[in-house]
Amino acid sequence: MLSIGSVSCSQGESRNGYIKVAELAYGGEVRVPVTVIRGAQEGPVLWINAAVHGEEVSGIFAILKLIKSINSSDLKGTIIATPVCNPLALKGMQKFTPEDQLDMDQQFPGREGGWLSEQMAYHFFREVKKHASYMVDLHALGSSYAAVPYTVYKNLSGVAAETLVKTEEMALLMGLKANCRVDLSTAKGELPGSLRGALDVQCLLNNIPAIMVELGAGGRVEWENVNRAVNGLQNILRYLRMLDGEPRRPSGQMIITERAFLNTRRGGLAVPEVQPGDEIAGNTPIARVLDFYGEERECLVSPGKAYVLGLRINPVVNSGEIIVGLGLKWEEVK
């Protein structure tokens, strides 16, 4: 019998329930919905998570579609699916938890007596550590952006080499063209905040192979990316021998080994000059910031040869806004 939150599930069964992670002032519980599908045979546990950031909704639908496609009689091992990791952020349709304005994905492994987001992370990650053999964490960029789908996976000290190898293989088996390998010991130009507080990093530190998957833009469902995610997750299940069939790694993939995020220095209206998925040369104009008379205040250019991962499409910008995410160095996957 596998017990997680309110769910108890025997082999060959599928059960829905929740993990209680916090309480609110009026007495209501903050619950993370969870589905457990246990195969008739023993095997690893793949945990699939989404919506740790509330506006990143495509992953929710990818999980729901995957669950509908799985028959427990065909499964070896267990799938644990949590389509809404931060229900408070989902309610607010925003990245941060509205009640404390913290990014839950910077709070893992959490603190039992900490801030609300820290407590939510603590109670959630306690179950992850107890049960997960592998983790796939589904994300998207913010609602102000357009983006290609891509994976992100990390290298860091103190993690077994076998765990890192499996992590990279899982990323490539998602079948997306762009895959960002971030070495946390040398990473420059990454987003601000506690990278070690991310769910995938804490999984790795507990020797649980883990990847992030960015499913395009947030604030809306991108159905093509939902289908890509389902196909990739089924491929990972075959790789883990949880489903019958051979995993297939598609050709034409790249591993990005250095990336950068460019911010505005001036405020105004941002007009993009490139598109997500473009490969551009150095000094290529990426976006122009105009004032309200149509005069150019700033032109952001590529620092070198680059691959455009995501680009801001909301034109209203303050100084310090992220305009573009770029891959600066990459290698073709053989």
Same domain, 246 and 304: no
User: Domain ends where: 250, 275, 290?
Assistant: 250
pLDDT score of 62: 98
Closest CA to 145 of 292, 324, 333, 14: 324
Cα–Cα distance, 264 to 287 (Å, whole number): 10
CATH code where residue 109 lies: 3.40.630.10
Same domain, 41 and 76: yes
Same domain, 276 and 242: no
Q: How many domains does the chain have?
A: 2
Instruction: Indicate whether 160 belongs to any domain.
Output: yes
pLDDT score of 190: 72
Over residues 132-151, the mean pLDDT reads 97
Same domain, 89 and 145: yes
The model carries a pTM of 0.96
pLDDT score of 188: 65
User: Domain ends where: 216, 250, 284?
Assistant: 250
Same domain, 131 and 265: no
Asked if pLDDT for residue 218 goes beyond 70, the answer is yes
Same domain, 12 and 105: yes
Counting Cα atoms < 13 Å in the Cβ hemisphere of 118 gives 7
pLDDT score of 334: 84
Same domain, 128 and 171: yes
Same domain, 279 and 297: yes
Same domain, 119 and 243: yes
Over residues 175-200, the mean pLDDT reads 85
Q: Which tens digits make up the pLDDT trace of 220-258? A: 999 999 999 999 999 999 999 999 999 998 899 999 999
Asked if pLDDT for residue 119 goes beyond 80, the answer is yes
SS3 (DSSP) at 52: coil
CATH code where residue 273 lies: 2.40.50.100
Same domain, 10 and 150: yes
Contact between 139 and 214 under an 8 Å Cβ cutoff? The reply is: yes
Instruction: Indicate whether 121 belongs to any domain.
Output: yes
Q: Which tens digits make up the pLDDT trace of 261-290? A: 999 999 999 999 999 999 999 999 999 999
- Which range of residues forms the domain containing residue 93? 2-250
pLDDT score of 186: 77
Cα–Cα distance, 138 to 233 (Å, whole number): 11
Instruction: Indicate whether 80 belongs to any domain.
Output: yes
Cα–Cα distance, 85 to 104 (Å, whole number): 9
For the chain, the C-alpha Rg in angstroms (whole number) is 20
Same domain, 163 and 26: yes
Asked if pLDDT for residue 194 goes beyond 90, the answer is no
Asked if pLDDT for residue 189 goes beyond 80, the answer is no
- Confidence tier at 13 by pLDDT (50, 70, 90): very high
Instruction: Indicate whether 255 belongs to any domain.
Output: no
State the Cα torsion 158-159-161-167 to the nearest 10°: -150
